[in-house]
Structure 1
Amino acid sequence: MRVLFRGLLIALGLLIALPVLAGEQVRVGAYHFPPYVVKPESAAPGGVLPELLAALNVLQSDYQFTLVPTSVTRRYRDLESGRFDLILFESPGWGWQNTAHVALDLHVEDAEVYVALAEPGRDQGYFDQLKGKRLALYNGYHYGFAGFNADQQFLRENFSAVLTYSHDSNLLMLTRQRADIAVITRSYLQSYRRRHPERSKALLVSQRVDQYYQHHALFRTQSPLTPETFAALLLALNRHGQLDALLHRYHLVVPEHLTDD
C-alpha cells in the first residue's frame, strides 16, 4: 500500500508539472497604425487590434491569438513568408493583391480626411487644390490623392510632403505653421478631438475624403485559421455585445453583417 501511495503521488506530481494545453497558435501581424495598433513591439500594445485579440482569447480556447510586430513597409512580405498567419485592417487600395493570401471582408469602414488650421476666410474650398501646399503625411501610408504611391521621394517631390510617424506630430505641424494640410485617419481624428476639445476649434476638417478604408483580414495560404472560422468567431463575439462596443469606442463603423437577425 505504501508503494502504491508513493506511485500515485509521483503520477500526480507529473500531471501537475505538465503544461496546460493551449489552443492552436494564430500569429497576427501588427504594425504601428493608430488607432488600430499602437506600439505593437511594446509590453502593452494598445489599439483596436490588441483589444480584439484579447477578447477572442477570452471567448474561446480553440485558438490562441498572439501579436507579431512587423513594419508598414515589410508586412506583406512577412505574411507571404509565413512570419505570421494573418493581418487585419488592410484596405484594397494598399497594394496587397500580388501577395499570396486569402481575404475576408470585415465590413469595417474608416476614411482619411484633410485637416488645416481654421483661419478667417478659409473654407472648404481650401482643400480643392493640394498642389503648392505643404502636406504633413504619415510615412508608409498610401494616399488617394497620390494614386496610392507611398514612395517617400515621390511624395516629397510632387506634394512638398513632410513624412513623420505620428498623427499628433502632423497636427502639431499645422499649429506651428510648418505644414498647410495634414491627412489624418478619421477614427483617429475623432479620438484626438475628444481627448483635446480645446484644440478642435483651431482645426478645419474637410468634407472631402481622401480615401475610404474597406478593411479586410488577409490570411496566408497555409494559415491554421480559415476566414470562415474567423468570421464565425467575430459573430460569436458580437453576440456577447463586445464587438459593437469595441468598434464604437474607436469611432469605427459597426459591421452590419455581424449583427444577428
Structure 2
Amino acid sequence: MAHSMLLAFGMTLLTPVWAVQEVRVGAAHFPPYTVRPESGVDTGLLPQLLDALNQLQNDFRFVPVPSSIPRRFRDFDQGRVDMVMFENPAWGWQDIAYSAVDMGLEDAEVFVARQQPDRQQDYFDDLSNKRLALFSGYHYAFAGFNPSPRYLAQHFNATLTYSHESNLLMVLRGRVDVALITRSNLTELLARNPKIKSQVLVSQRIDQIYHHYALLRPQAPIAAPQLAALLQQLRDNGQIKAIFEPFQVAVVPMRRPLAEVLP
C-alpha cells in the first residue's frame, strides 16, 4: 500500500498543473463602458464583459487595471496592461505595436443642445459660432481627431471636462450651446433623469461612429485568435446582446474576425 501511495504521489508531481493566466485589461474612465475604475467599484459595461469572459472558461482570468484616457497608451506600451477594449486604431495608437480583435460593437458621438421652440436639426450644421462642451482626451471627428485641449479651446470655443453629465447640465443651464456625448452614455443619462428628456434636442448628425476593437500587446498572455473565439461564443449565446443593447450599443457583424496591426 505504501508503495502504491508513493507511486501515486510521484505521478501527481509529474502531472502538469496549468495555472490560470491573468490578463490585465486597462480600465480608463469612459462611461458607460468604464466608470471611475480608480474608485475600485466594478461598474460599467467593461466589468460585465470581463465577468462574462471569466465565467465562460477557466484558462484565463481577465482583471481590470485602473488607467486613464491619456495614460492608457503608456500603460499599454510599457506592459502594465495586456489589453485595452472599446478602442479604435485611429485614437492615437499609430506608433504602438498591437494585435486588434474586432468586437463587432458600434456606438456613436452625437450633438446635444437645449430644446427650444424654433430650434431644428439645422442648428447643428454650423459649430463655428457655438460654445462647445467636450470630454477631455476624446478624439472628435469634427476636430480632425486632435485631442489637444489648447487646440480645441482655441479653434472651437470648447470647454473640456471629465463628465458627460456635467456637459449635459451646462447645456441645460445655458452655459454652453452644444455638447458632444457618446450615444450610450446619453441613453444612460436620460434613463436616470427622464424629466430632462423633453428639454434636450439630440442631433441626427453624428460626429463619428465608434467601431470597437480590443487591442492586445504582442506579449499578452492571450493571443488574438483566442480572444476572438471567446467573444464569438458570447455573441452566439446572447450575452453580448444582453450587455450592450440596453445602452444602444449596436451589435453588428464583425468587419473582420481578426486584424493584425503592427506599426
Confirm or deny a common fold (TM above 0.5). Answer: yes
Q: Aligned letter for 2:246?
A: R
- Does 1:207 pair with 2:204? yes
The Cα shift of 1:255 comes to: 3.4
Q: Aligned letter for 1:38?
A: V
- Does 1:96 pair with 2:85? no
Q: What do the CA deviations read for 1:14-57 (whole angstroms, capped 9, x no partner)?
A: xxxxxx97510100011000011011122222111111001111
The Cα shift of 1:240 comes to: 2.9
Partner of 1:7: none
Give the whole-Å Cα distance in 2 for the aligned partners of 1:101 and 1:110: 22
Give the whole-Å Cα distance in 1 for the aligned partners of 2:202 and 2:35: 24
Q: What do the CA deviations read for 1:93-113 (whole angstroms, capped 9, x no partner)?
A: 312121111111212111100
The Cα shift of 1:204 comes to: 0.6
Q: Aligned letter for 1:176?
A: R
- Does 1:113 pair with 2:110? yes
Instruction: Please tell me whether the aligned partners of residues 102 and 220 of structure 1 are also in contact (alpha carbons under 8 angstroms).
Output: yes
Q: What do the CA deviations read for 1:44-100 (whole angstroms, capped 9, x no partner)?
A: 221111110011111111000101111101111211111111100012331212111
Could you tell me which runs of 5 or more consecutive residues in structure 2 were left unpaired when the two chains were aligned. 3-8, 10-16, 256-263
Q: Aligned letter for 2:183?
A: R
Instruction: Please tell me whether the aligned partners of residues 111 and 211 of structure 1 are also in contact (alpha carbons under 8 angstroms).
Output: yes
What secondary structure, in the 3-state scheme, does the structure 1 residue paired with 2:225 have? helix
Partner of 1:196: 193
- Does 1:144 pair with 2:141? yes
Instruction: Please tell me whether the aligned partners of residues 117 and 180 of structure 1 are also in contact (alpha carbons under 8 angstroms).
Output: yes
Q: What percentage of residue pairs aligned between the two structures are identical? A: 51
Q: Which of these residues, 62, 65, 77, is aligned with residue 65 of structure 1?
A: 62
Give the whole-Å Cα distance in 1 for the aligned partners of 2:90 and 2:118: 35
Range with greater deviation from structure 2 (213-222 or 248-257): 248-257
What secondary structure, in the 3-state scheme, does the structure 1 residue paired with 2:109 have? strand
Give the whole-Å Cα distance in 1 for the aligned partners of 2:242 and 2:230: 16
Q: TM-score, with normalisation over the residues of structure 1?
A: 0.88
Instruction: Please tell me whether the aligned partners of residues 92 and 214 of structure 1 are also in contact (alpha carbons under 8 angstroms).
Output: no
The Cα shift of 1:147 comes to: 0.4
Q: TM-score, with normalisation over the residues of structure 2?
A: 0.88
Instruction: Please tell me whether the aligned partners of residues 102 and 214 of structure 2 are also in contact (alpha carbons under 8 angstroms).
Output: yes
- Does 1:233 pair with 2:193? no
- Superposition RMSD in Å: 2.1
Aligned residues: 245
- Does 1:129 pair with 2:104? no
The Cα shift of 1:248 comes to: 1.3
Q: Which of these residues, 215, 218, 221, is aligned with residue 218 of structure 2?
A: 221
The Cα shift of 1:231 comes to: 1.0
Give the whole-Å Cα distance in 2 for the aligned partners of 1:255 and 1:208: 20
Give the whole-Å Cα distance in 1 for the aligned partners of 2:18 and 2:122: 60
Could you tell me which runs of 5 or more consecutive residues in structure 1 were left unpaired when the two chains were aligned. 5-10, 12-19
Give the whole-Å Cα distance in 1 for the aligned partners of 2:134 and 2:195: 23
The Cα shift of 1:249 comes to: 2.5
Give the whole-Å Cα distance in 2 for the aligned partners of 1:21 and 1:58: 17
What secondary structure, in the 3-state scheme, does the structure 2 residue paired with 1:212 have? strand
Q: Which of these residues, 151, 168, 173, is aligned with residue 170 of structure 2?
A: 173
Partner of 1:155: 152
